[in-house]
Structures are given as C-alpha cells and as structure tokens.
Amino acid sequence: MRARIVAVGSELLTPFHVDTNSLAITERLNDIGCQVVGKAVVGDDVVEIRRLVEAAIGAVEVLVVTGGLGPTEDDVTREAVAHALGLPLEIEEAIVDRIRRRFAMRGLAMPEINRRQAMVPRGAYVLENANGTAPGLCVEREGTLMVLLPGPPREMTPMLEAVIRDRLAPASGGMTLARRVVKVAGMTESDVDTVAQPVYGRWTSAGVPIETTILATLGQIELHLTARAADRAEADRALGTAASELQAVLGHAVISVDGRSLEAVVGDLLRAAFWRVAVAESCTGGLLTSRLTDVPGSSDYVDRAAVCYSNRAKTAWLGVPSTLIAEHGAVSEAVARAMAEGVRAEAGTEVGIGVTGIAGPGGGSAEKPVGTVAIAVVSDGETRVRTCRFVGAREQVKDQAVRAALNLLRRMLLGV
C-alpha cells in the first residue's frame, strides 16, 4: 500500500513552521506496511488542495489530508475535496447536534459558523472527533481512500488510529515495514557506495525485499535499510542479515548497525573495557567532551577535560613543554600527543585524548591551512596520532574533528 500526506495551513508555508504531523502519520502507516511516497504542504487554498487531491486519486491507495477543517472561512479542505470528487456538500444535522452538545458541555451556545464543520461530501464516512469540534471524513474513489483529519495532533492522532484499525489495517494484507540504520565513519560517501552497492543492490529482489538509502553528512555516512515483510519478526531477521552483510564488506568502518551514535558506541566500549577517559581540547573548544557527555550515564567513564585555548594553559595544566610548542607549533602531532599524555597523567585515567587544530576562519597558513587538526589518543603502551584536513566553516571543522577523535578512540578500543 502506498500513501501520500498533505498538510494544509498557510502558516506551514512561512519560514517558521515545519509540518510535523506527517512524521506521526508516517510511523503509523509504516506499521501496517503502508509506505509514504510523497508529502505536500499547501496553504488554505481551495484550488491548490483540489489539485493535490485530484493528483492522488488512482495514483496511491491512501491520501491523508490534515488541517483546514476548522469553522472559519479560510478552512476549505471540505470544499476542495468535494470539488475534486464532484460531490455536493451537505450539512449533516447529526454532526451539528454533536457540535452543539460539545459547546453546551462548556456552558456555551454553538456559534453559527460552526455549522460549516458539519458539511459532508455526499456519501462520505464521518470520523468522530473525541477532542474537538471538527469531525474527520473518509471518502473512497478509484481505489484511493481519502482521509481528512483536523490539524491539532491531540485531535488528529486518535482519529488516525481509528481509521488505521477499522479501515486500513484490514486492507493492508498484514505487511509491515521495518527500518534499520547502519552508521559508517572514516570513509567518503563514494567509497561506501562503491563497496556497498554490490551488496545492497541484490536486496531489492530478495525474498524480503530491502531498500537502501545513503545519507552523507560531514564525517559520517548512514545507510538506511527498509524491509517489507509479512510480520515484524521476519522483517527484523532480514534486516539483521543485511546489516551483517554490510559489516562484512565495510569492516570496522561500521560504527553501529542499530542506529546508535558514535559517542554512544564509544561509551559502551569504554564501559566494557573498564576504561575512564580524560580529554584535552584546543580547537574543538569543549565540543568533544560535550558530545561524550551527551550520553546518559557517561559520568561512569568521563573523568575530566581541559579546554586549553591559550598556550599558557597547555603548559600549566597539561605540562606540555613550551619548547615543544615553539619547536613544532601549537597545531602539531607532537603537541596533540603531549596534551593527551598530560591530561591522562593528571587525571590518572586509562586513556587520554588530545586535539589541537585551526578551526578558522583566521589562523591558517600555507603549511597549516584552516581545517588542519592533529589528534592523539594515548593509552597504556599504545599511542595513535593522526593529522586531518577538514573543509567547511568553523563549526563544521569542530564537528568533523570531534567525530575523527571519537573514531580514533573507537578503533583503539576495538584494537583495529
């Protein structure tokens, strides 16, 4: 089953609001194996809404429209759908009574304009709204079920549940969509695709077909896998096998196959190793430690961090010799290493990290341009050091440096 979602509301076309109703709708539709193939946002505009309704008829099995069912003149979803279907709009007195009773419960008389909410395209099925005055509507045409729901989530959600339970689930044939996210670090999008495509390319025609999307952000690639199967267990089994196949070809570049973040994975590895970590940051300005401590319970393994923006601080707190800074420069592998060793010795932890670099926009040179970052991870008997050149603005350089440092620590913990 395929669905489209339309959100109606002029405020959703300003720079300030996104449509979030569609996320909850998507989740519930996916649960019964119904895939959302398109979403749209339009203003309170009868022509535009009608155009979208007409385009959906016969093209998808489900069209969910939210919003525009209020009592005021700019609420035109009912009219637009009736026009699209060539059906007359008729007032249903039973609905008027229900709305009137709702007002009466709060000691109020129903304003005359609320009669508009009782208008129903002839033959439509009415969905009761337990939490508001606007009833929902269902109409079927050419194999497309159109479901009109009010915009406020508190009203919309229970009505959607009822439609799914009573109309869509019985028609869905019992299929389900399940998802899994595989995260990869330290490879470019093209490299990941070159290696992974021969694997995921086969899945679309498998017994349980799996679709794959690659999402690239700076310093991290995600593969989103979606399986369609008769039940959840079967879909999950297929996704588990698929994730293992990706791991087999991508190796230790795979951070997680269950959506866990890099910092959560590093945290689990630190905890499993009974290691505590101390951090010395310069260009990342505290972001590395903030990321590490975004994980609940991270106080178990994060001991302390020194953010040393001045060379004076590097020397006084971390014992980095000023001669070393003079000789190699503050941004150098030697200084990154001395920072990691210094903070580790100071804190008495099993592992120390040092990061020093040029986040920009100023401070670059021909030899060490903006984006140059030296990273060191030091544990008992092992030191890993690397120098990276990141592209992007200040915040992107910081972000990539944080990911690279976490990944270096992850690989040390894995011994790979």
Scanning residues 182 to 241, which ones bind a copy of itself (CB under 8 A)?
188-191, 193-194, 197, 211, 213-218, 224, 226
Return the number of the residue (124 or 325) whose C-beta is nearest a copy of itself: 325
Which of 92, 100, 125, 131 lies at the binding interface for a copy of itself (CB under 8 A)?
131
* Strand-pair category, 254-256 with 220-229: unpaired
Site for a copy of itself in 70-89 (CB under 8 A): 70-74
Nearer to a copy of itself, 88 or 217 (CB): 217
Q: Contact 260/320 with Cβ under 8 angstroms?
A: no
Instruction: For Cα atoms 62, 68, 73, give the angle at the middle one, nearest 5 degrees.
Output: 145
Whether the CB-CB separation of 225 and 210 falls below 8 Å is answered with yes
To the nearest 10°, report the CA torsion of 234, 240, 243, 249: -110
Q: How far is the CB of 56 from a copy of itself (least distance, A)?
A: 11
Instruction: Tell the smallest beta-carbon distance from residue 28 to a copy of itself (Å).
Output: 9
Positive or negative, the Cα torsion across 385, 388, 394, 398?
negative
- The token duo for 115 is 């009669």
271-330: contacts with a copy of itself (CB under 8 A): 279, 281, 284-290, 292-294, 296-299, 302-310, 312-313, 316-317
**Contact region for a copy of itself (CB under 8 A) — 15-23, 76-84, 319-327, 374-382?**
15-23
Q: Which is nearer to a copy of itself, 107 or 415 (CB)?
A: 107
- Our CB check for a copy of itself shows the closer of 98 and 389 to be 389
Q: Which of 91, 171, 391, 414 binds a copy of itself (CB under 8 A)?
A: 391
φ/ψ of residue 179, rounded to 5: -125, 155
Based on CB atoms, which residue is closest to a copy of itself, 172 or 298? 298
Complex with a copy of itself: residue 247 or 387, whichever CB lies closer? 387
123 DSSP 8-state letter? T
Please report how close the Cβ of residue 371 comes to a copy of itself at its closest, in angstroms.
10
**Is the separation of the CB atoms in 179 and 258 below 8 Å?**
no
Min CB(396)–a copy of itself separation in Å: 7
Residue length, the chain?
416
- Which residues in 32-71 contact a copy of itself (CB under 8 A)? 35-45, 48, 51, 55, 70-71
Q: How many Å apart are CA 91 and CA 128, to the nearest integer?
A: 15
* Of residues 208 and 278, the one with the C-beta less far from a copy of itself: 278
Of the residues 251, 361, 382, 414, which one makes contact with a copy of itself according to CB under 8 A? 361
Q: For residues 100 and 125, which CB has a smaller minimum distance to a copy of itself in the complex?
A: 100
Size of residue set near a copy of itself by CB under 8 A = 105
What gap in Å lies between CA 295 and CA 189, rounded to an integer? 27
Minimum distance from residue 266 beta carbon to a copy of itself (Å): 14
Would you say 124 or 350 has its CB closer to a copy of itself? 350
- Within 92-111, which residues bind a copy of itself (CB under 8 A)? 106, 108, 111
Q: 283 with 274: CB under 8 angstroms?
A: no
Rule CB under 8 A: say whether 158 interacts with a copy of itself.
no
CB contact at 8 A, 220 and 403 = yes
Q: Pick out residues in 363-382 that bind a copy of itself (CB under 8 A).
A: 363
Name which of 286 and 321 has its Cβ closer to a copy of itself.
Answer: 286
Peptide linkage before 361 cis (omega within 30 of 0): yes
Strands 277-281 and 351-357: parallel
Token code pair at residue 112: 């005359």
Among 18, 104, 272, 326, binds a copy of itself (CB under 8 A): 18
Among 101, 154, 165, 232, binds a copy of itself (CB under 8 A): 154
Q: Which two tokens stand for residue 361?
A: 């926009």
CB of residue 123 to a copy of itself, shortest distance in Å: 28
Each residue of 88-104: b (16+ CB within 10 Å) or e?
ebeeeeebbebbbeeee
Nearest partner of 167 among 177, 156, 159, judged by Cα: 159
Amino acid at position 223, single letter: L
Taking the C-alpha atoms of residue 310 and residue 306, their distance in angstroms, rounded to an integer, is 11
Contact 67, 6 (CB under 8 A): no
| Residue 203 identity (one-letter amino acid) | W
Strands 144-149 and 136-141: antiparallel
Smallest gap from Cβ 328 to a copy of itself, in A, equals 19
- Tell which positions 325-354 bind a copy of itself, by CB under 8 A: 346-347
What is the closest distance, in whole angstroms, from the C-beta atom of residue 122 to a copy of itself in the complex?
26
